[in-house]
């Protein structure tokens, strides 16, 4: 259900929270004209601190049903416990989503899964708030084990203690690894909750599509500044329409034989270079082993921080000349350095064992 149609992503949009029947209908009518596939609205809102607007609850469910009847749009809302599942099903909600604060808790996910047994409704599972891929996969498995056949994952970013440009750090490597482990699972990007602001929505959505995500979930409100929750990140239906139009849509692959041949040649080069890199790394580790033995014979400490600083500083100079980014070079060399230390430690413990 959540797959692309051609190169067009599956589009989910609607307000962060349901506030009134009028707000819902007005937003939905405009979104229906823009070809949105699924209308979202939060009814039960998980808020970080007490006292914030916690959603209108079941009172808003008939409005979702009305959106469906009037516009023909399918509708979705967040559920966090069995009671909310039953209420949502009673009002004909088409798709349920599990929020980031529920995915993190296997008890909550299992309660939702048990409530869904015997009902094959599509379910979207957001990533947990913390960067733990196993929890995300575990939640997907619990829903799948309850007999749900249409499941999608939503990447909404991760909480970070350090301040980042975004409200929730995207850490793209985590959804990329999810894709590798579950290649058939549709993957969508909630650009609103990653960004936390309006200005970066396009950039994040485009990045997701460049990575071949299947769809987007975006918060849209008729009067964003007055929204009862997440005012800073919501956009009007008109701005949403412009955002979708300015996306550069890429096809997942091509049948063109010339394209395929050129790509094959480039990939062949990449494979050769990767092999060279592995040979070099193996050589470097053999050298680290010799150094380890030498230090061991002379009873010298393994870690020499002044030398490590020197290696990094030299590498940064060389990297700049070659057009390589410092953070990238630092990441690679840190990994190499850590492995060298481990190799040298292994030399030490082998000799102690003799």
- Beta-bridge mates of residue 78: 97
Among 13, 16, 100, 187, binds Mn ion (CB under 5 A): 16
- Integer Cα distance of 218 and 195 in angstroms: 10
**Closer by beta carbon to Mn ion, 229 or else 340:** 229
Nearest approach in angstroms of CB 300 to Mn ion is 56
- Beta-bridge mates of residue 155: 189
User: What does the angle CA 284 – CA 290 – CA 293 come to, to the nearest 5 degrees?
Assistant: 140
Number of residues that bind ligand PEP (CB under 6 A): 10
Among 156, 174, 209, 222, binds ligand PEP (CB under 6 A): 156
CB-closest chain residue to Mn ion: 16
Site string for Mn ion, 178-217 (x = CB under 5 A): ----------------------------------------
**Closer by beta carbon to ligand PEP, 52 or else 260:** 52
Q: Going by DSSP bridges, is the β-strand pair 151-155/187-190 parallel, antiparallel, or unpaired?
A: parallel
Among 230, 241, 292, 343, binds Mn ion (CB under 5 A): 230
In the block, residue with structure tokens 């809102």: 45
- Integer Cα distance of 29 and 243 in angstroms: 18
- Integer Cα distance of 64 and 70 in angstroms: 10
CB 16 within 8 A of CB 230: yes
Biggest distance spanned by C-alpha atoms of the chain: 82
Nearest approach in angstroms of CB 192 to ligand PEP is 7
Asked if residue 19 binds Mn ion (CB under 5 A), the reply is no
Nearest approach in angstroms of CB 196 to Mn ion is 10
As given in the structure block, the two tokens for residue 188 are 């969508």
Among 42, 128, 175, 186, binds ligand PEP (CB under 6 A): 42
Please give the residue ranges that form the binding site for ligand PEP (CB under 6 A). Answer: 16, 42, 46, 99-101, 126, 156, 190, 193
């Amino acid at each position: 259900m959540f797959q692309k149609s051609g190169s067009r992503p599956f589009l989910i949009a609607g307000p962060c929270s349901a506030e009134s029947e009028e707000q819902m209908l007005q937003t939905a009518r405009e979104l229906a004209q823009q070809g949105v596939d699924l209308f979202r609205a939060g009814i039960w809102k998980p808020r970080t601190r007490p006292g914030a607007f916690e959603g209108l609850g079941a009172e808003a469910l008939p409005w979702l049903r009305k959106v469906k009847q009037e516009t023909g749009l399918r509708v979705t809302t967040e559920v966090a416990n069995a009671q909310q599942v039953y209420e949502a099903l009673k009002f004909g909600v088409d798709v349920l989503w599990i929020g980031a604060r529920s995915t993190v808790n296997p008890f909550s996910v299992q309660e939702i899964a048990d409530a869904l047994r015997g009902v094959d409704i599509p379910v979207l599972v957001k990533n947990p708030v913390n960067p733990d891929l196993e929890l995300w996969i575990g939640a997907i498995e619990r829903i799948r084990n309850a007999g749900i056949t249409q499941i999608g994952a939503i990447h909404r970013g991760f909480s970070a203690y350090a301040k980042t440009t975004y409200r929730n750090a995207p850490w793209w490597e985590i959804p990329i690894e999810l894709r590798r482990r579950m290649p058939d699972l549709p993957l969508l990007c909630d650009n609103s909750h990653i960004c936390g602001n309006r200005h970066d929505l396009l950039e994040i959505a485009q990045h997701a599509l460049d990575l071949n995500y299947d769809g987007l979930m975006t918060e849209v409100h008729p009067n964003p500044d007055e929204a009862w929750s997440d005012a800073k990140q919501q956009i009007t239906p008109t701005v949403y329409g412009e955002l979708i139009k300015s996306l550069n849509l890429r096809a997942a692959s091509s049948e063109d034989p010339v394209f395929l041949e050129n790509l094959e040649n480039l990939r062949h080069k990449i494979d050769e270079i990767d092999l060279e890199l592995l040979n070099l790394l193996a050589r470097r580790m053999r050298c680290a082993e010799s150094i380890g033995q030498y230090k061991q014979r002379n009873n010298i400490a393994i870690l020499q921080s002044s030398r490590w600083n020197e290696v990094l500083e030299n590498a940064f100079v060389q990297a700049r000349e070659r057009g390589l980014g410092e953070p990238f070079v630092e990441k690679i060399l840190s990994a190499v350095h850590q492995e060298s230390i481990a190799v040298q430690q292994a030399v030490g413990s082998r000799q102690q064992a003799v």
